[in-house]
Amino acid sequence: MSKICKFVSLLVLTLSATVAFAQDAVMKPFVLASKGAGDVTQKVEATKAALTKAGFTVAGSYSPYANTTVIGVTNDELRSTAAKSEHGGYGAAMRVAVVKAGNDVQVSYTNPPYWASVYRMSGDLKDTAAKLQAALGKVEEFGANGMTAAQARKYHYAFGMEYFNEDNTFVSYGSHEEAVKAVEAGLAAGKNGVTKVYRVDVAGKKEVLFGVAMKGTGDNKIMDDAYIMTEIDFKDVKSAAHLPYDILVSDNKVFAQYARFRIAVSFPDLSMMGANSFMNIMKSPEAIREALALTVGGTEDAR
């Protein structure tokens, strides 16, 4: 074999190995951007400024519980990539969390390639990942042992549990505009403890993503953001960027991921039973489903 043929063969093998490695690379749900002393309020403002400077639009923010702020952000890549796949609108925004934990303020964000795979989007959002890292930093990915892109695209927590394409269909309206108007009205009323944090319109498609806060009291506390996160977000590095929950208006229909999927994909390593387990929030997915359904104009049993 000539030297040229040997070189070409070696190059092909190297490229093949590189592609295989990229496909098999393990990703985790969240990225820890920074950790250190500071004030939450000041860090939130600095984080928003850094995101805006990096070309992101801050769609909205809220404080689901003390010492925690979650910021919804979007950009052109997120909105345009979201339009290319069915219900890709769930990935039209990324979430950034600023949390005071112990003596440190942690800044973290959802890992774009991980969520692009989870939401089966037509793109890996690596440009958005690079921009978030440049704006906020990157210490490590965290939140699970991790999954490859292929594993994330077909993820479900356990036998009998929902996949991404098995989301709740709450209600159909006469038009896309009517559906969006109804969701806006329901969130503004807040009668079921569900209120708007942000809205992101998908580029060139009749699809709108709403990030929503969940507030429950008394017997309905099981759907409350703070209640659920107290049970499952117990590690030293906080996963507050799991919040807020999502409502998706696609054409004239209103959807949401079933909470058994939405929570599990953020916390795939959470144990089924024991302390700080899914068992402790066993009734929460149904409470969330019911609250979302009633908020958007569906019936109590809408699925």
Would you say 222 and 284 are in contact if contact means Cβ atoms under 8 Å apart?
Answer: yes
Residue 24's pLDDT band (cuts 50, 70, 90): confident
User: Over pLDDT 70: what percentage of the chain?
Assistant: 92
Question: What confidence score (pLDDT) does residue 17 get?
Answer: 39
Tell me how far apart the alpha carbons of residues 197 and 71 are, in angstroms, rounded to a whole number. Answer: 9
The count of other CB atoms within 10 Å of the CB of residue 268 is 20
157: which 2 tokens? 């927590």
Give the DSSP H/E element, type plus range, for residue 140: strand 140-142
Per-residue pLDDT tens over the stretch 130-148: 999 999 999 999 999 999 9
Q: Is the CB of residue 95 less than 8 Å from the CB of residue 108?
A: no
Q: Report, as an integer, the average pLDDT of 82-105.
A: 97
pTM value?
0.91
Confidence check: pLDDT of 16 > 50: no
- List alpha helices for 68-175, DSSP H: 76-82, 112-118, 126-136, 149-153
pLDDT band at 100 (very low <50, low <70, confident <90, very high): very high
pLDDT-wise least confident of 77-86, 157-166, 195-204? 157-166
Mean pLDDT for 190-200 is: 97
Which of residues 136 and 1 earns the better pLDDT score?
136
Structure-token pair, residue 135 = 């704006």
Percent of the chain with pLDDT over 90: 86
Amino acid 217: pLDDT: 87
Q: What is the pLDDT of residue 167?
A: 95
Q: Which residues contact 253 (CB under 8 A, 6 or more apart)?
A: 169, 170, 171, 172, 173, 179
Q: Once rounded to an integer, what is the mean pLDDT over residues 168-187?
A: 98
pLDDT score for 12: 39
Q: Specify the CATH number of the domain 26-295.
A: 3.30.310.70
Average pLDDT over residues 33-38: 96
Q: Which element (helix H / strand E) includes 168?
A: strand 168-172
Q: Which residue has the tokens 């052109």?
A: 76
